[in-house]
Structure 1
Amino acid sequence: ANAVKLQKRHNRTLFTREMYDSQYHSENAFGATYGAHREARALGHDAHAELLAYARQIGITMCSTPFDIRSADFLEGFGVPAYKIASGD
């Protein structure tokens, strides 16, 4: 591979409070609410830093799709060389 693409979302920005706080009933749930499930599945600052450092170490470009302005600002702090615009935009 020459590149890897991640996605970053600020879940509270993307979902209504009702959706974020709604009960999440699934055998594959990582939380009692949809928001808790999404947060448990999201990569945080440390994971992004580790992945970006490793990608640079092995010569793979890491880019990302920010789904909102807050996520774009988050990624900007890492010096990600490229963004893919989310197809929902």
Structure 2
Amino acid sequence: MRTGSEPATARSALRARFWLSLWGMVWAVFGTAVFALVGRPGWAIACGVLWVVITIDMAVIVRHIRQGPHYQPGRDVPPYQPPQRRP
């Protein structure tokens, strides 16, 4: 159901974000290791920084998933009501 307030009340597919972040982490770890082994420290550092960012993102995602239906609604949780406009 569209209410017209989607940008303000949008919900995220947290489980999809988690699995995509996990996939990205696998590649970041792989890239860090491979670039370090072949002697490309700049690329290894870039992949390492990406690895840190992905780890922080995954921590936030897991925190939101564990907070319950407010952040990870199921089919039984109705959509948020649009904000009331003041006259």
Shorter-chain TM-score tier: 0.3 to 0.5
> Where is the helix percentage greater, Structure 1 or Structure 2?
2
- Per chain length, whose mean CA-contact separation is higher, i.e. which structure has more relative contact order (CA < 8 Å, sep 6+)? 2
TM-score (norm 2): 0.38
TM-score (norm 1): 0.37
> Where is the strand percentage greater, Structure 1 or Structure 2?
1
Higher Rg: 2
